[in-house]
Amino acid sequence: MILVTENAFSQHSVSGRISDALTHEPVGFANVIVNHSGKGTISDFDGFFEMSKVFPGDTLFISFLGYEPREIPVDTAKMITIPIFPSVYALDEVVVKPGLNPAHLILKNIWRNNDQNNMNKLKAYEYEKYSRTMVYFRKFNYRDSASLIRPLKNEFNNHSVSTGEEGIPALPAYVSENISDVYYTKSPVREAVHIKLVRSDGLAFKGTDLVSQLTTKQENFNFLNNNVQIIDKAFVSPASRFGLLYYKYYLIDSMYLDNTWCYEIRFVPKRKEEAVFKGTMWITDTTYAIKRISAEIGKKSDVNFIQRIKIQQDYSNIGACWFPVKERFMADAANIYITNYSEKKNIETDKVLPDSFYKRELSIEPDAGEKDNPLWDSVVVGSLTQTDSMALPKLNH
């Protein structure tokens, strides 16, 4: 959608949201340029963008890796949806002219500055985390899971929503939200979690091993490491010191993100059958840290029954390092579709607590599970994807 507000000088303030035309999911980190001029912005984590000083008759040019570019006029005050369609264009067909690849220079600066940017250098850290996980069941074709959906045939027919990049119908089955304080120490490695609020709705199920693995291990990705662990498999990070052996890199653009000048670099696998990602990362121009990243793996990744995994992260400079503060995770796994959104705030670093504190790895407030706990009213979190927002009312039907 686009919302246009006109001022007395005939300039416009433009805000809107970009979404996938097939799945209706938000497209975060898409480029939004005015009249192909280079002046523009990038959609945020949830697909929203805002621009000022846009004039009547101007046109927004919207582009993102893996999607057809789209042009939208802004001389209207009507709110509209801006869907963009996946393209069949392959980035690895781009022809790079002979000479030094500027993306490689930026990559080498990422390596040089990794020690000062990486959260791994911290002796300890703690933060408050909000996390929301949603699980969807699709029509089952596999023998070992067919019995799970049969009793829910009517529910599926009446309450399914579209999921994944192909818009496959699925039944919203489960949602869980929690707010917790997380405490981590490096030496020895220990983590303590104190759950302050938790609520869930939907089917009371233990879930498959695959669901359990995906929902418990999807919030600890660090792309400044050489490898990123997904379930039981290590994938080569696009920021890895060995990245040039596994990826092709392209410097696409540069612009401000949250008042920080960043380089937009796209990365694609040299060999798709290897444990690698494809996507885009935005690198800060002075510290050479990851500001944002959108990365995904596909069917050839050979991770259980995974069809596709997509990870989006937003990093923030907390003084001591660049810390991942927002994350969206999506897993398209055979007949199960999973989404997770998490935010971290109130981050403190190098506050080492006594060893005895970490021995209790998990603790829960006595009233944490009360659905009507008034503390939920004060919780402000990132917006839902369109699929999740459509699913929540159906879980309460």
pLDDT digits (tens, 9 = 90+) for 38-88: 677 888 777 888 877 777 778 888 988 778 889 988 765 555 668 998 775
pLDDT for position 348: 96
What integer pLDDT is reported at residue 344 of this predicted model?
A: 94
| Architecture of the domain spanning 2-89 | Sandwich (2.60)
Identify the residue with better confidence: 379 or 145. Answer: 379
Residue 302 has pLDDT above 70, yes or no: no
Distance CA 295, CA 279 (A): 4
User: Domain coordinates of the chain in residue numbers?
Assistant: 2-89, 119-395
Over 80: is that where the pLDDT of 228 sits?
yes
Q: Cis before residue 269, ω within 30 degrees of 0?
A: no
In the predicted model, what is the mean pLDDT of residues 287-309?
A: 83
Q: How confident is the model at residue 359 (pLDDT cuts 50, 70, 90)?
A: confident
Q: What is the mean pLDDT of the segment spanning 164-177?
A: 74
Q: Alpha-carbon distance 271 to 290, whole Å?
A: 24
Measured between alpha carbons, how far is 340 from 13 in angstroms, rounded to an integer? 32
CA pair distance 359, 353, nearest whole angstrom = 11
User: Residue 123 has what DSSP assignment?
Assistant: S
What's the first-to-final CA gap in the chain, in angstroms? Answer: 28
Q: What is the pLDDT of residue 389?
A: 59
pLDDT in tens, 245-288: 999 999 988 888 888 999 999 999 999 889 999 999 999 999 99
| pLDDT at residue number 330 | 86
Residue 196 has pLDDT above 90, yes or no: yes
Calculate mean pLDDT across residues 187-200.
91
State how far the Cα of 273 lies from the Cα of 271, in Å rounded to an integer. 6
Measured distance CA(60)–CA(1) in Å, rounded = 13
Question: Rounded mean pLDDT of the chain?
Answer: 80
Spacing of C-alpha 176 from chain mean position: 18
In this predicted structure, what is the pLDDT of residue 194? 94
Indicate whether 103 pLDDT > 60: yes
What is the per-residue pLDDT across 41-55, written as a single tens digit (0 to 9) for each?
888 777 888 877 777
Look at residue 94 in the predicted model and tell me its pLDDT.
Answer: 44
**Is 214's pLDDT higher than 70?**
no
Q: What percent of the chain has pLDDT over 90?
A: 34
pLDDT band at 192 (very low <50, low <70, confident <90, very high): very high
Per-residue pLDDT band at 37 (split at 50, 70, 90): low
The yes-or-no verdict on residue 27 having pLDDT over 60 is yes
Instruction: Give the position of tokens 């001389």.
Output: 75
**% of residues, the chain, pLDDT over 70:** 73
pLDDT band for position 380 (cuts 50, 70, 90): low
Q: What CA–CA distances, in Å, run from 383 to 89, 133, 332?
A: 30, 13, 21
Pairing mode, if any, of strands 12-20 and 82-84?
A: parallel
Check residue 90 and give its pLDDT: 44
